[in-house]
Chains A and B, each alone.
Chain A
Amino acid sequence: MSALAQPRVRFGGSVLLALALAVVLTPWIAQALGAHADTVDLYHRFAAPSLRHPLGTDELGRDLLLRLLAGGQVSLLVGITAALAAAVLGTAIGLVAGYFGGRLDALLMRLTDGVIALPLLPLLVVLAAADLHKLGVPAALRDSEAMSLYRIIVLVTLVGWTTVARLVRGTTLSLRQQDFVRAAEALGASHRRIMLVHILPNLATPIIVATSLAVGEIILLESVLSFLGLGVAPPLASWGNMLTGAEETIALAPMLAVYPGALIFLTVMACNLLGDGLQQALDPRRRR
């Protein structure tokens, strides 16, 4: 449990736990306030904080605290799901590249560098605007409210795997030279068995570290795409798309623009500190 001795791990972990707890408790908070995140009240637009609305209301008179909690649910869900998907994809690519080496490794690593080096956001903007009909997505799914969630998860997974792939490849390269891998080879184990049974369990550390760093990156990407109107679509709230409306009323109600961004900032900071702290705690070579 040496990881918990790291102040960064403790800080990042507690912030994320607190946020998760708040999101889980949302239904009870909503009940206590006697409102719902989607309850529109046009007589009380831009209301100041009060007992009924602890953080005030937005441009449609919806309770800001409840909107923030609902948005947090979506942002965290998208962030964690996409980070896990990116971790699986990145692990597969990094493991294959590091294990087989040679030309395949060179090809996969050039692909990884290519994805990192490209101007990703402009390309993602085009992908996010893609017509789902032309991609052959079934109509029932296309028109469902959750479609924007699936789309954004797929989009950020497509670009979020590189960190994991590079770390996994590096570790696999060094593991490949170790005696226990040679012994397994000598015993006639198949490539698949060596990769999955002997190497993969030893990759836990880099995968955990890279994934917690990737969650932060992915939440940032989700928020910017949602803000640009290409990610999570209203009426579903996300911290990113809450800022779209807030931008227009910024002179009138600045706090509407402050809170969602501050929450994104806090969450991503917590993920990054957690990832960095874990890296230092779990990787003996990095210890000072």
Chain B
Amino acid sequence: MSRFVVRRIVEILVVLAVMSLVIYALIGLMPGDPVDLMIASNPHLTVADAARLKALYGLDKPLLERYAAWLGAALHGDFGYSRLYARSTLAVLIPRLGNTALLMGMSFALTLALAWPLGLLAARRPGSWFDGVANLSSFATISVPSFWLALMLILVFAVQLGWLPPGGAATIGAGGVADRADHLVLPVITLTLVNFGPQLRYMRAAMMETLHQDYIRTARAKGAGEARILTRHALRNALIPLITVVALSFGSLFSGALVTETMFAYPGMGKLIYDAVLGNDYNLALAGLLFATLMTLLANFAADLAYAAADPRIAYR
């Protein structure tokens, strides 16, 4: 087990290193560079000044050399300075990480609490009216554009009914848990609905597969109760393929978070990356994307560990 953990951690570090280079190169494709922005904001700069500045910041060097310099600094915890927020990148990033983790965590827990039981019950009687309703609702939530769903929720609950705030994470000046919770309701609902459909379908498909197995018939023949068959025999086995697909869905959860946070002006990582890209804040966009990738990789790692716990036959070595 511990050797497996070490191997996976090494793998994560390798993937992270590769992705950091890819992301670094991508950021390099964004319009302009920091010196271009300085030139734009200061008409007195001469061509010689610009060249000197480019040399000073190392922008005249080839991509790999610049990447190596950035990586060296990043490994020492220095991700540079955020142009948009005029603070160190990490100081901007870390509070946002917490906000996003809160939004994604609550929504993910709620999604599974809703979708899994429904998927399980739908798989019991394929073709029944309950299965039909479950299927249709999962199709509907898969097909709805997340930003439009957010817009409609804002329209109904914030603009017309005035029950909930249309955006932000807290009312300025009024702190408190209840206020934060108010601001989380609509974003969490949006993100939950968007991920509900796929999770229901995963659970339904996995349960349909296991409910046809011989050991289910054996359990029935033994006289085991229906609830026990479903949870102890079928669900336990369905969890194994399920964890794999759930692990792969963390990336799309983050994509959903970017849309949700942008729509509700919720100060999380997704909105931060979007604002950084639009505002040509290279350091911030780079660090934001890297942390988003790291979060996804860690979530996958957690799923791997859950996999081992769910399937005792798998002995990681």
Contacts of A257 in B (CB 8 A): 148, 151-152, 155
Contacts of B26 in A (CB 8 A): 123, 126-127, 130
B28 at the interface (CB under 8 A from A): yes
Distance in Å: Cβ of B236 to nearest Cβ of chain A? 24
One of B139, B148, B251 near A269 (C-beta < 8 A)? B139
A223 at the interface (CB under 8 A from B): yes
Q: B251 and A119: CB pair below 8 A?
A: yes
Binds B, one of A35-43, A48-56, A62-70, A246-254: A246-254
One of A118, A125, A246, A268 near B143 (C-beta < 8 A)? A268
Given contacts A121-B255, A126-B289, A268-B143, contact A134 B148 (CB under 8 A): no
Contacts of B146 in A (CB 8 A): 224
Q: Which DSSP category, helix, strand, loop or mixed, fits chain B's interface?
A: helix
Q: B254 and A261: CB pair below 8 A?
A: no
Q: How far is the CA of A273 from the CA of B126 in the complex (A)?
A: 17
Kindly identify, within residues 147 to 169 of chain A, every residue whose CB is under 8 Å from any CB belonging to chain B. Answer: none
| Binary contact track B1-38/A, C-beta < 8 Å → 1, others 0 | 00000000000000100010001001111111000000
A265 at the interface (CB under 8 A from B): yes
Interface size on A, residues (CB 8 A): 46
Contacts of A271 in B (CB 8 A): 143
Q: How far is the CA of A240 from the CA of B145 in the complex (A)?
A: 9
B293 at the interface (CB under 8 A from A): yes
Q: How far is the CA of A96 from the CA of B285 in the complex (A)?
A: 36
Q: How far is the CA of A135 from the CA of B273 in the complex (A)?
A: 22
Q: A119 and B254: CB pair below 8 A?
A: yes
One of B152, B247, B248, B292 near A122 (C-beta < 8 A)? B292
Which residue of B is nearest A213, CB measured?
A: B142
Contacts of A134 in B (CB 8 A): 28-29, 31
Contacts of B250 in A (CB 8 A): 117
| Binary contact track A199-240/B, C-beta < 8 Å → 1, others 0 | 000000000000000001000100110011100000000001
Q: Contact residue range for chain B?
A: 35 or more
Q: How far is the CA of A131 from the CA of B127 in the complex (A)?
A: 51
Q: How far is the CA of A272 from the CA of B197 in the complex (A)?
A: 12
Contacts of B247 in A (CB 8 A): 117
A288 at the interface (CB under 8 A from B): yes
B288 at the interface (CB under 8 A from A): yes
One of A123, A125, A216, A261 near B151 (C-beta < 8 A)? A261
Contacts of B273 in A (CB 8 A): 122, 125
Q: How far is the CA of A240 from the CA of B28 in the complex (A)?
A: 27
A276 at the interface (CB under 8 A from B): yes
A146 at the interface (CB under 8 A from B): no
Q: A216 and B32: CB pair below 8 A?
A: no
| 5 A–B contacts, CB within 8 A, in A order | A120-B255, A125-B273, A129-B31, A246-B151, A265-B143
Hey, which bits of chain A sit against chain B, CB under 8 A?
113-114, 116-123, 125-127, 129-131, 133-135, 216, 220, 223-224, 227-229, 240, 243, 246-247, 250-251, 254, 257-258, 260-261, 264-265, 268-269, 271-273, 276, 288
Hey, which bits of chain B sit against chain A, CB under 8 A?
15, 19, 23, 26-32, 126-127, 139-140, 142-149, 151-152, 154-155, 159, 247-248, 250-252, 254-256, 258-259, 262, 270, 273-274, 277-278, 285, 288-289, 292-293, 295-296, 300
